[in-house]
Amino acid sequence: MVARRINKTKAVGAALLLGLTALLLYQFGLFVMVLWLSVRNPNSSAFMKATIAELRLSNPDANLQHQWIPYEKISNNLKRAVVASEDANFTGHEGVEWDAIRKAWEYNRKQAASGAAKRRGGSTITQQLAKNLFLSSSRSYWRKGQELVLAYMIEMVMSKRRILELYLNVAQWGKTAFGAEAAARHYYKTSAASLTQHQAARLAAMLPNPAYYDANGNTSYLRSRTSTIQKRMHMVEIPK
């Protein structure tokens, strides 16, 4: 009986050690990918792959609109608008804003208790980049935890300029439009370099739900949010 108990304990210990080793190897693999992306431009992202796979279920010929554009060829208006809308303290934090996460959690808990559907996110641009590049849109504690780990990895090896460059090139801006250049051409028939303040503010306002606004056009909320972002654009700092 004692021998069986010892063998069972050893088996559990070995399983835990194996699981921990696998987890560490997985995190190391992700870190290597983050290092690679600090110097190489991605052709796609986890979100792009998931989107095209879903679209091709109903249309095998479906394609995404995406074209990489260097940071210096993206309008400062769009950089300012996105930072003002998504992460006003982008240049000042280290990847995660814990106070914003706490406030978002409290708000969402109250919304759920009252039966309201609206939710608020507390993610920084770095967290959103981590999610877009490597993860999925599913909601779980594991996914959120991995997003936080990736955010710290990204901030460890990349400059703020590189982080924003990557984000602006992989963010979804419509049902099939990904990245600033595709968004500018899809909505305004212009380049990302030529976006006006108003155009940039409207694109930034679309980010939380781009496919919806792509399908439903210029809603009253989108107009109001665009105006708010445009007023805040001069107040934020962007990487040079």
pLDDT given for residue 103 in this prediction = 79
| 117 and 205 part of one domain | yes
Q: Is residue 111 part of a domain?
A: yes
| 27 and 100 part of one domain | no
Mean pLDDT of 210-239: 95
3-class secondary structure, 42: coil
Is the per-residue pLDDT at 163 higher than 90? yes
What is the domain-level CATH number for residue 102?
1.10.3810.10
Strands 177-178 and 65-66: parallel
In this structure, the number of other CB atoms found within 10 A of the CB of residue 122 comes to 18
Q: Nearest to residue 97, comparing CAs of 151, 138, 134? A: 151
pLDDT given for residue 108 in this prediction = 67
| Residue with more model confidence, 112 or 21 | 21
Contact of 98 with 127, CB cutoff 8 Å: no
pLDDT given for residue 111 in this prediction = 67
| 3 and 93 part of one domain | no
Phi-psi region of 219 (alpha: psi -120 to 50; beta: other; left: phi over 0): beta
| 103 and 205 part of one domain | yes
Query: Which of the given ranges, 133-137, 144-148, 197-201, has the highest pLDDT on average?
Result: 197-201
3-class secondary structure, 11: helix
| 105 and 21 part of one domain | no
Q: Rounded CA gap, 201 and 196, in Å?
A: 8
| 15 and 129 part of one domain | no
Task: Tally the domains of the chain.
Answer: 2
pLDDT given for residue 137 in this prediction = 74
Phi, psi of 66 (to 5 degrees): -160, 130
Q: Is residue 110 part of a domain?
A: yes
Q: Is residue 215 part of a domain?
A: yes
| 10 and 26 part of one domain | yes
pLDDT given for residue 116 in this prediction = 62
| 81 and 133 part of one domain | yes
Render pLDDT for 106-127 as a digit per residue (tens, 0 to 9).
Answer: 766 776 676 665 556 679 999 9
| 47 and 158 part of one domain | yes
Q: Is residue 240 part of a domain?
A: no
Render pLDDT for 66-110 as a digit per residue (tens, 0 to 9).
Answer: 999 999 999 999 999 999 999 999 999 998 888 877 876 776 677
Range of the structural domain that residue 21 is part of:
1-37
Q: Is residue 190 part of a domain?
A: yes
Q: Rounded CA gap, 28 and 225, in Å?
A: 40
Q: Is residue 65 part of a domain?
A: yes
pLDDT band at 158 (very low <50, low <70, confident <90, very high): very high
pLDDT averaged over every residue in the chain: 91
Q: Is residue 10 part of a domain?
A: yes
pLDDT given for residue 63 in this prediction = 95
pLDDT given for residue 49 in this prediction = 96
| 57 and 145 part of one domain | yes
Mean pLDDT of 42-64: 94
pLDDT band at 172 (very low <50, low <70, confident <90, very high): very high
| 140 and 44 part of one domain | yes
| 150 and 82 part of one domain | yes
Q: Is residue 143 part of a domain?
A: yes
Q: What percent of the chain has pLDDT over 70?
A: 91
Q: What percent of the chain has pLDDT over 90?
A: 73
